[in-house]
Amino acid sequence: MYKERPALHVSTFILERGFLLVFFAIFVRHIRPYAFGGTLGGAEYQPLPWLIGLLGFLLLFAVFLRSHSSWPQWLRISLRVAGWIGAVLFLALVRYPDGSGFDPARMDIIIMLLANMVVFGSLIYVLTQNNLLGRLAVMAVFVAMRLVHMQYDIAMAAGGQEAIKNIPYVMHFFHGAAPTWIDRVWNATPASWLYNFSWLKYLLIVLPGSIAGDQLRSWLSQRKRTRTPKERNTLIFVCLIVLALVIVSLAGLFSRRVFLTTMIAFALCLAGWLPLRNAKSTDLHFIKMFVWGSFWIVLGLILEPFGGGIKKDNSTLSYYFLTSGLSYCILIFFCIIIDIIKKRKSFDLLILNGQNPMIAYVGMANLVLPLLYLSYLFPWLKELLAPYPWLGFLLALGQTLLLAWIVSIFTKKKLFWRT
């Protein structure tokens, strides 16, 4: 079912995909209407920034559109070539209000990080796809616990009775630590806008995701169509457990009830594992990814105190592992609800947007907002609702649903943006 491809072909595809995402990251920031004055200083009624935004969207459409196989070859090639020529000319000629022009450092950092993850994460996966060592996971737990306890050692050594015992750990903090070769590698970069070694820390999210991908692929190739009432009840129970894990983790850590959150999460992980430990059917077999998801959650919660608590910026170890585990939970939840319990129709809007994420990513700034502002109705409506927070929330919700509806139309028409 899943045909192996030559290593050279795979490597070429990975590098090509990385290049396209790098271009996407740079071009997206150069076509943002805000960069040309839109919505700044009362400029909502100036049409030019919004027209430029729409032009940028059309150029991206031509560059990234996966053409229908039924289209004539000359049309597919012409569309792609015209898109690239238009995009290059735009970058060469563009001028912003401050007099600046094209600058590769003017890039979308989120997409640039994703480009790096696509290249390095994919290459690592190709080299290690048959090399999962569970014992490393156990070692990681002990390393995480030691890292957290090290904070206590350092605090005690700074002025407590443990100073002598812990001097080897902390003397360099007080005498000024010279950069090591690790520090030099960590900050190494040929071009700061394109690549930084420190960005590879996000592989701690990507690689757990690759494990989930393998498990999901295995389930898709083996899943069964019928289930006993007991199996169905087990699936529903697991569905509730993973949903509870997400809610408890988000609410508990946001309110900083770390210990209580950790204990409840550990109990939920155990409760979800018990009915799965002897699962034999193929439907329940794929839920064994729950064990991996639980491991990442446990590891993330153990690491939570390290670095002053979980943070996205600057990101902490807890952030990588806990978000990976919660992502496993969401994946399990939707697999059960959509593919097993057959409630797909309720999530069609999400599915259709998930199948076209690149359009969804730029659609608000370069399609929805330009259309709304060029109508001259939106700025007036926004000012009218500004004193009323909940009405403002409903307006923002309406914008989001409008974007989701537009993306779903593109998807239904099989107009996909792909790298």
Tokens of 23: 């271009």
| Residue-level pLDDT at 330 | 94
Mean pLDDT of 293-316: 86
Q: Is the pLDDT of residue 277 over 50?
A: yes
What's this model's pTM, rounded to 2 decimal places? Answer: 0.82
Q: What is the pLDDT of residues 234-253, one digit of tens each?
A: 888 889 999 999 999 999 99
184 touches 105 (CB < 8 A): no
| Residue-level pLDDT at 68 | 77
Q: Is the pLDDT of residue 167 over 80?
A: no
DSSP 99: S
- Burial state string for 53-67 with b = 16 or more CB within 10 A and e = fewer than 16: bbebbebbbbbbbeb
Q: What is the pLDDT of residues 7-54, one digit of tens each?
A: 677 888 889 999 999 999 999 999 998 888 755 444 556 788 899 999
Rounded CA-CA distance 392/403 in Å is: 17
Q: What is the pLDDT of residues 317-330, one digit of tens each?
A: 889 899 999 999 99
pLDDT band, very low/low/confident/very high, at 6 (cuts 50, 70, 90): low
pLDDT band, very low/low/confident/very high, at 2 (cuts 50, 70, 90): very low
Mean pLDDT of 292-311: 88
Instruction: Quote the mean pLDDT of the chain.
Output: 82
DSSP notation for 119-143: HHHHHHHHHHTT---HHHHHHHHHH
pLDDT band, very low/low/confident/very high, at 185 (cuts 50, 70, 90): confident
Beta bridge partner(s), residue 416 = 66
Of 135 and 58, more confident: 58
Phi-psi region of 46 (alpha: psi -120 to 50; beta: other; left: phi over 0): beta
Q: Is the pLDDT of residue 380 over 60?
A: yes
Q: What is the pLDDT of residues 333-355, one digit of tens each?
A: 998 888 878 888 888 999 999 99
Mean pLDDT of 188-195: 86
**Pick from 286, 175, 166: which is nearest to 221 by CA?**
286
Burial of 111 (0-12, 13-18, 19+ CB in 10 A): buried
Of 166 and 399, more confident: 399
| Residue-level pLDDT at 374 | 86
| Residue-level pLDDT at 41 | 45
Mean pLDDT lowest for which of 175-179, 225-229, 290-294? Answer: 175-179
322 touches 297 (CB < 8 A): yes
Q: Is the pLDDT of residue 206 over 60?
A: yes
pLDDT band, very low/low/confident/very high, at 82 (cuts 50, 70, 90): very high
Q: Is the pLDDT of residue 311 over 80?
A: yes
| Residue-level pLDDT at 129 | 77
379 touches 369 (CB < 8 A): no
Tokens of 57: 């969207």
Q: Is the pLDDT of residue 134 over 60?
A: no
